[in-house]
Amino acid sequence: MSSPLTAGIRTDESGFYDDALRLNGGFVDGFSVGVLADVTDFENAENIAASLKVPGWAGGAYNGTVLFVAEGI
């Protein structure tokens, strides 16, 4: 049995993170990965690679939060 893990960007008025942030090489919007559920010790994990590809129009400082949500099935 696996549980889906999704991610989202809550507020990004400038659009910086929508353009720049990648999870496992793809955009955050629509990101989903299955994590095996272990009902005995809950020690299963999934590695997620996060990277930032700064768009040419970006300059200055940006703040943000990535929210990961895991749902049990």
Domains in the chain: boundaries: 2-70
- Nearest partner of 17 among 52, 69, 61, judged by Cα: 52
What is the structure's pLDDT at 42?
61
Q: Does the pLDDT of residue 50 top 70, yes or no?
A: yes
Report helix, strand or coil for 45: coil
- Of the two residues 11 and 73, the one the predictor is more confident about is 11
Token pair belonging to 66: 């990535």
Q: Does the pLDDT of residue 40 top 70, yes or no?
A: no
